[in-house]
Structures are given as C-alpha cells and as structure tokens.
Structure 1
Amino acid sequence: MSTGLQRRLLALLLVPLLLLAGFNTWFDYRLAGNASLQQDRALLALVPLLADSVVARPLSEDAPLPLLTAPPVDQFLAEHNGLAAYSLSDLEGRVRAGEVWLTGPTPADATPAYYGEEQGGVHYRVVAQRVQTVAGELVARIADGSDARQQWMQQLWFKVLLPNALLVLGLFFAVNWAVRRALRPLLELKDQVERRSPRDLSAFDAEASPDEVRPLVLALNRLFSLVSAQAVSQQRFVADAAHQLRTPLAALQAQVEAWAQASTHGGTADWRDRAGSVSGTKHALAPVDITVSAEQVQALRAAVRRTSQLANQLLALSRVEARQAHGAAHRVDLAQLCETVLLHHLDAAAAKGIDLGVDTAPAQVDGHEWLLREMLSNLVDNAIKYTPTGGHVTVRCGRKDGAPFLQVEDDGPGIAPTEHEQVLAPFYRVPGAPGEGSGLGLAIVQEIAAVHGTHVALAPSPLGTGLRASVGFPVQKP
C-alpha cells in the first residue's frame, strides 16, 4: 500500500467482507443443523413403524425375525438407496434383522439415542431406541447417510471455506484496484506537490480535480497565494530598502574617498562644516573644524565600503529571488563571461599581489547573463578577499561529461568540509574567518544556481590548501 489512506480504505472495506464471510459460514451451519434436526425427527418417526414390521415371534432365538416392512420404511430405503439402513437387535446386541454392521451400545431405557457411524466411507446419522414388538423387547436402529450436518462438516473446506476464501481473495484484488483507481487523483496531487520547486507557488487547476479533492486543492491554492504575497512583500521591502540605501551610501563613499585621498598627504584632514551657509537657513551656524587621523579615515572608508557592498548584495539577492524579473533565458557564452569578470577584478587582485588567471574552454548555457555574471563575480570576489598576498586564483569554464561548468579555485585558507552547507546560508560567516564580510556572497551564488536548476559544490582545492567552488549545469540541448 502506498498511502495510509489507502490502507484504511482497504481495511474498512475488507474487514466487513470477512465478517460477512464468517456470518455466511455460520448461517450455512445453522441451516445444516436445522435440516439435521428435521431429519432426526423423521428417523425417529420411522422407529415405531420398524417395530410394527415384526409380524410374528421367531421359532427359535437363532431364527430370523419374520418382517413385513411398513410402506414408509420401504419408501425411506428406496429414496436413500445405498445411504440408508436399519437393524433390529436383541438386548444382548445380536442383530436379528437388517444390516449386521449397524450395531452399538444398548440404550438404558426407551429414550431415543442419536450417534454417528462410519461405514464404507459414508458417515451415517443413527437413531437407536428400545421398542416393544410381538417378538419381545428389541433395539431398533435406523441410519441415514445423507445427514445434512454431517455432510456439511465433511465438505466444509470444499463447499464453504474454499469458496469464501476465493471470494475474499478476489474481492481483495478488486477492492485494491478500485481504491487505487479512486485515489489516483489524490495520489497525482501528492506527486505534483512533491515535484514542485519551493519557489513554485502557482495555483493548481481546481477544475481538473474530483469534487472530493477540490476543497483540498482550493485550500492549497489559498495557502500558496498567501505565501506568495508574503514572499513578494518581503522581496519588495528588501529591494526598496537596499535601493534607498544605495544613493546616500554612494554619496557618503565619494566624500569619504576624497577625504581619504586628502588625508594621505599630511596624515590628518580638516573637515569644515559649512552647514550654516546653505541658502534658505535663517540662522548661520559657526564653522566647525574637525581634525582626524589618517587611520581613522581609513577605518571609516572601510566601514562605508562594507555597508555599500552589503546594500548592493541585498539588492542583488532580492532581484534573484524575484523570478519575474529574470526575463527569458538565452544562450550565454561562459568563456566570454569569465573574461569579463576577470577584467573587472584585475585591479583588486593586483592590489593584493594575487595571480588572477583564467582557464577557459568553449561552453555555453541557457540562462540569464546578468545573474551568471553576478554569481561568478561573487565567487571571484570571495576568492580574492580570502586569499593571502602572493596567492593564486583561477577561473575556469568548460565541459565535463558533456555538461558545462563554472569553477573558481584559490589557495587561501579554505573552508572546513563541515561548514560547506552552512556557508551557503545568508549572513553566515565561518567563525574566525579573516577580513570583513556580510555572509551574503555564497548565499547569492546558491540562489542564482538554483534559478538555473543546479547548485554550488564546495570542495578542498587539489593544491592542498584553499577552496574549489564549482557550478555544474545540466546538459544543454543543441
């Protein structure tokens, strides 16, 4: 059984059938018992007639009894030819007339006694009773081999148990098939839910569902609608916040960069606040002279850069999560993409004395170029950031087993294998990692990879130290 609901339905349908089969067996036995009771009464009614069939006393004790069987007895024997018998025996058990095998214990009184007798493979129902005849007191016995209850017990397996077992077995397969067919829409709905991507919140077709499943489909559609609205609201908030932060941060960074350039010549910088001279102010404020050291300016510049980078990453992450902003996918040349990203990071690598190289082979994928550029840029930026001075960073692309891939490898400190899954989560940084960061770079890479139907694979660099980040794409159709 594939589902608990299917097991319950089968149990609810088959258990009553088993009970009905048991009741049918019991009912058949009761019918056989009633028939046997009627037969016992019929046999007992023949006993006096058999006693009256003795017409005279025999000449000697060894002589046979003179009999003139009554017509009902003759009719009984004729109707049950080969399955009926009678005997008359004295109180000592000697058979004086009838079948010699039809013997048994002598009844203690005139009360009729019933018992079974096996003869020639036939099970007989026998009634025995002491009777008064013209030849004295005798024991009359009449046997019937067509007793319904005895025959029922003998043929219990073939006539009752086997047919019922076959009936229940056939019903099991029939009910199982019917339940599977009836539950197919529900199982198909389950498969559709299991195959769905976590980002796919589109509604199911309620009209294609049976009436019994339709309320569940409508409830799922309402849930998807609420979750989708909440996700869109979250994405819009993050995008709006990041976008609003970019403009003032860009202006602030430009001012701090200019201030840092000025501070590098004399070791200190003067910042004269001219806020009071702005037109439109009613009262002019006295100029304020602020003198800071070059170290403070550099620290301020680093903080502004980190904040600006965080805002840009938040904006990029929200754009990745908003699938409707992706547009149609098109063919992207990975080799050209690697060269573009390499040129963009050459200055940062040269500033740290890092050997930034590229190793490309022809490869193309169907995707969104700006997303792939953002993904590769984040991988290269991370590699440069954490690789020490004099290290090496290599950007690769090509095909492996026919599938295109992108890869960035460095010889920095690397990431422990136990941390590989956690570093892909937003805002997670490896404890004790050098430098400053927000923990969003690899999370953005993972999101972009998921949009393209793949994932990021992190592994230690074959160089002995460092990290290798690989993104393998599905085999592309020509």
Structure 2
Amino acid sequence: MTRRWRPHEPGSLAARVLGAVLALLLLGGVLVAGSIWWNGQQAARQSYDRILLGAARDIAEAIRVQQGAPFVDLPVSAFQLLAQAPEDRIYYAVHGPGGALITGLDPRQPVALPEAEQPGYSFFEAELQGEPARFVRLTRRFVERDFSGPVEVVVGQTLRARRAMTAELMLDALLPMALAGLLLIAIAALVLRRALRPLEALSADLAGRDPHDLTPMPVAALPGELRLMVGAMNRFMARLDGQVTAMRNLIADSAHQLRTPVAAIRVQAESARAAAPGAERDRALDRLLARTRSLGRLLDQLLSRALVVHRTDSQARVPVDLREVALEIFEEDDPAALAPDSQTRAADLRLEIGPDPVIVRADAFSLGEAARNILVNALTHGRAPVVMGVSGGQGRARLWVADAGPGPAPEVAAKLGARFNRSTGSGERSTGIGFSIVTEVAQAFGGRVEMDQGPEGFRVTLDLPAAEIAPEETA
C-alpha cells in the first residue's frame, strides 16, 4: 500500500521545509513589523509636530504690543489645528521677559531638556497632567519703542493621537503582509507537494518491486538533486547485486562441483576397504588421497574466489606496492605447498623486481590471491624455470609470471578467466577457478589480464593502472 504524503507529520521532509519557510516568514514579519513601527512612529511625530508648530506660530503671530506690554488675542486657527487630535489634552502658555505669564491654561510651565533647536523654536517632551506629552517652544523677539524683549510661546499635547496613528499605520501595513504570508505558505506547500511527487513515484516503485529485483532505478526524468540520490542508491544496489550474485554462484558452484568429488571419494573409500591388503589396497588409498587433495584444492579455490569478490567490492582502495605482494609470496609460500604436483622446485623459481616502487590502488589481499593463482598455474602446467616479476612505466603497473613452457592450446587460452575452465589433460591438478579469480581482481581494479606466447615460453601479466601516493599517505 502506497504511503500518502502528509505535510504535518513530525520529522517529515515536507514538515521541515514548511517549518523553515514559516520560520523565515515569521522572522521577516518581525523585522518588517519593527521597521513599520519605527517609520510609523516617525511619521506620526512629524505630522503632529507640524500641527504643534503651526499652532504655536499662529499664537505668536497674534501677539501685539499695547501700552508698552505684549498682548495676545488667541487665534481660532491655532485651536482648530490642535483639534485634529480630539482625544489629546492640550497645553499653551505665553510668557514675557523674565518668564512672566501673559496667558495660558496652566501657569506651571513644563520643564524638560529641548531637542536640537531649530532657528526660533525647539521641541521637547515632558508630562502633562500625569501623561507623556510633546511640546514646542517658539520665541518671538520684539524691538519697539515702548517694548523690547523676547516673548515665548509654548504649545503641547499628549501622545494619544500619535500612538493611534502609529498603530493604524502598522495595522494597515501588517494586514496585507499577513495575507501575503499565508498565500506564500500555501504556494510553498503546493510547490513542495509537486517537488515531492518523484519521491512518491520512487517509493511506489520500490514498494512494488520483487525482493530479488536489484535492477537500477530510472533517473532520466528526475530532478538533479534526486538524480544524485537515486544514482547512489543504484550504485549500492549494483554492489548488493554483485554480492548476492557471488553468494548464489558460490552456492551453485559448491552444489555442482562438490557432488562429483564427494561421490568419487566415497567410491574410492569403499574400494580401498574392499581391496585385499597389499598393492591393490595401496593403489586404492593413493587414488583416495589424490581425490581428497583435489577436493581440498577445489574448496580452497571456491572460498578464495568468494572472498576476493567480496573484498574487491567492500574494501577501501589503498596504495599497494606490487613488489611487496611478490616478495610476500616468495618469502611465505613454498612452491611444493602451492603446487604439490609440480615438477618445479625452489631452485627453478626466481623473482625479478626493480628498486623503484610500483604502486597501485587496490586491496593487498586480493592482489596476493591473484598473483598466487598465476604462479600456481605456471608451477602446475608450465616448465622450469618459472620467473615472477614486477615492472612499471607509462602509467601502468604490471605483475607477471613467465615459464619456459608452450602455454595452453589456443582454444583453452581463449576461455581462460571463465569459471571451471579446464583442459582435458589437466585432470585432478586443476579446479578451473584460479584464472577466474585473476580476472575478477583485474576487472575490479580497472586492469586486465594479458597472455603472451612466444619462443621463450608463456607469460601471464596482471596489468593495472599505476597510482601516485599523496604526501599524507607516505607518513
């Protein structure tokens, strides 16, 4: 059953993306709201400051000098301006030289530090009947025959209208922004829903697959980001398919190849048991021993091939010096143990390596198994002397084994590398698996197997790409 997309599921990709979009919108909304509040506050201050200044100027223009003293006939226009904020309390006062009150609503003058003064006036804030208020102080100077000196006009009002205007400006700006945010969230949900459709298709494809179906998933119609993910999944499935195939081959090969040797050992054992003591029983025991050795070699080769296939796919590629691979075989392996049926002895076996490293990126164990199988093939089927060598040049690294024999027949050489490829003359000496291990290793590390037949003998070469060592890898 296909699992449906639910954007509200905790931990789901859709919920995370929508949560991130919502967080960005909320953060942007907070920043924009702060900017709107600040700008609205400045706009309200400028608007009502102009009203205060206009009223103060109207009052200052109405000041007259009569009988040597200033006199004010309060103009109606000043109160009309102040009436534009009907909810606010107002204050006005006119003072003559020395602070003498000429007229005003309250003889007590608000005291506060003025802001930066403009020519002839300044604004300041103080309390008016217990409320914060904004004031303007305007000075008009008289120089007449019967009166000379400054006359100061102070006009103020509380801040209710300013706050109401700031709130109104914020609401007028935030409401469309909130609607636009909701619309953006809806659009983001739709876009995300459409973007996740390929994931739903992939999920449906995987859910409907047979458990043994490890074929690659199609990537041509996928977006670039999903193509990377599905490509990695396909590579993983390819490695898994290789492991499963190797396991199936091991099981099939074991079932097929072991049946005949085991049956033959049983027959040889029964023959030896039934044979009369003497030469006949000895011959039966010799045949039983040969069959047992052959079965042991077959088991070793089957397990070795399965292990090599597994390691070449799962082990990390590291710098390996092919000279060390060859040296390890010569130092730790006895030719008689490697190939018991061989006529070649240690005196006829040589090693040719140079002074310079021959580096490849591979798995040392797998290279050792491949080299050992090439050597065993030469010891078993070739002629002395047998030479193992390592050489490099022109971006290639080569590990080779040569013997003085003519090599296999052309029809046999053409099939070398296939599992259980044996010639009619090999008999019990060969399992037909050794060269398949060499071929697997060469292909796994980007190389190839070369065979050369010439007057001097037969030569098998494991040819691999040479590698350079990074400075940190030499530490």
Return the structure number with greater relative CO, CA threshold 8 A, min gap 6: 2
TM over 0.5: no
TM-score, with length taken from structure 2: 0.43
TM-score, with length taken from structure 1: 0.42
